[in-house]
Structure 1
Amino acid sequence: MAQTCSHQTKLVAAAIIAVVIISALTAFAYTSSNTALKDIAKSGLESTAGVMAAQINASEIQGLTPGDENTPQYLAIAAKLRTMRSMNDYLLNAYIIRVNTTDHSATFLVDDLYPLDPSDSAKIGEAYNPPDKLEILEALSGPTASPSPYTDQWGTFVSAYAPIDDSAMDSNGNTYAVLGIDVSAKDYVSATTQGGWIIATGVVSIIIVLCLLYAFGRKSDGSGPAP
């Protein structure tokens, strides 16, 4: 009797250890997979923002002041942003921000949703202080992207930013403005959370191990079917 109890205790312990090990390995694989997907998505957004920013000449946006939304200059650059954005179905919005390097304030300069959606588009000079403000400031030096989805007055997004040089030719290396692009948080999460098969594999592995241990235990204590 004591031997049977000892045997059962060992089987229970083995089952617990197996479940813990498989669960830990599954969690590690799932986390690693999603981290890799997020890195890929972030890199892709930064590259897209960088390419788009490189197509903007500072002369196209210089001199814009509040109230200029209906001028030919503004409408031309807004249309140019929309054209570039249309090449990627996941992009919801493209815009240009001016950053004051003295007090680190940020204001909108161009929003490609205008004049198509004037009520939901940002106006020239409108202050912008999103949760990922740090990424906007860092974009003065190079492309950046939100570390995670954030929510502002327009919705929940992940954004990427890139510097617009002061001159397309003979640049002195100064950033005149920052270009931003948005993707929906829903699309971002869907693209970076695709490890369901890993969890399914882990669950199946646990079930198989527990079944094998159960079958082994029945055979060892003699309760299995007679030969």
Structure 2
Amino acid sequence: MNILSAMAGKQGQNKADSPNDLKTTQNFRFFVLTLIILLLNGLYLQFAWNRYVNIASYEAVQLVESLESIFHPEHIAEILDDTNDTDKPGYILAKNSLTKLVETINPIHFAYIYGERDGNLIFLFDSEPINSPNYVSPGQIYEEADDIHWEPFRTGESVLTKPITDRWGTWISALAPVKDPSDGTIISVFAIDFSASEWFANLRKQMIPDIVISICILILYFAFIHIRMKNIALRSLNKKYLIMKHYIEVCFPRRLLVLQ
């Protein structure tokens, strides 16, 4: 009678424990927790990327605005009135300044000033020497101009473009309006071009520490999960051992005493 009661009690305990149900619950919890960890890592990396993009954009706009101040609006106005007269001291001074600027500041590939005439954007100055294949003459229409190139004329604010492809490549440009100091009217726009591939390569380089942190977090998490699963498996084996031992103690008490 005692044996039957003990066995019935153990069977009832096994049903209550429902090992398969417990295992399913544990797996579901680990699955949900893994999704949460992956989501948080993704959000962290997205936040880091946006932070670096905002910093780079801010620095580019600050740079173009500070460089714009070195040009004389009256020299630009002279060329805008007569783009054929490239012998004027103002033209030579502005062009030399653009050339030195590109040579001095490494990330900048091109620097130029463009204006508006008859509903078109035209180049006034650029940083390329006359014998360069990338040289554009004053008065040449900027055929690849995007709508954002008109933005400084409309708003009077500096802007940073998205990557735009033209005959010279794919660029991210910082644009700053050049204003007439006498009345504040916008007479032209000063632009500097950054290589889009170099721009994003630099952003990815800055992301390396954040990616390393994210990977380390994932490694620690999956190591924790592995250890946790091992502990659960060991507890399950230990529980089975204790049940088996109890059966033996109840069913074969004399043999157990002899063995002891």
TM-score (normalizing by structure 1): 0.83
Counterparts of 1:210 and 1:74, CA distance in 2 = 65
Select the structure of larger CA radius of gyration. Answer: 2
Structure 1 residue 30 corresponds to structure 2 residue 45:
yes
Aligned length: 218
Residue among 166, 172, 179 paired with 1:165:
179
Q: Report what 1:12 is aligned to.
A: 27
Q: Report what 2:159 is aligned to.
A: 144
Counterparts of 1:212 and 1:6, CA distance in 2 = 22
Whether the 8 Å contact between 1:150 and 1:158 is mirrored in structure 2 is yes
Structure 2: gaps spanning 5 or more residues: 1-13, 239-260
Shift of 1:40: 1.2
Counterparts of 2:159 and 2:150, CA distance in 1 = 9
Residue among 129, 135, 143 paired with 2:148:
135
Counterparts of 2:45 and 2:144, CA distance in 1 = 30
Q: Report what 1:76 is aligned to.
A: 93
Amino acid across the alignment from 1:149:
P
Counterparts of 1:112 and 1:85, CA distance in 2 = 7
- SS of the counterpart of 2:101? helix
- SS of the counterpart of 2:105? coil
Q: Report what 1:216 is aligned to.
A: 228
Name the structure, 1 or 2, with higher relative contact order (CA <8 Å, separation 6+): 1
Residue among 92, 104, 114 paired with 1:97:
114
Amino acid across the alignment from 1:53:
E
Q: Report what 1:187 is aligned to.
A: 198
Identity over the aligned pairs, expressed in percent?
Answer: 19
Whether the 8 Å contact between 1:34 and 1:192 is mirrored in structure 2 is yes
Shift in CA distance, 5/144, structure 1 to aligned 2, threshold 3 Å: same
CA deviations 1:4-47 (Å, max 9, x no partner) are 32232223212211221111111111111111111111111111
Structure 1: gaps spanning 5 or more residues: none
Counterparts of 1:211 and 1:61, CA distance in 2 = 65
Q: Greater helix percent: which structure? A: 2
Residue among 67, 75, 78 paired with 1:60:
75
Q: Report what 1:122 is aligned to.
A: 136
CA deviations 1:39-67 (Å, max 9, x no partner) are 11111111111112111112212333444
CA deviations 1:51-94 (Å, max 9, x no partner) are 12111112212333444456654333210112233342111111
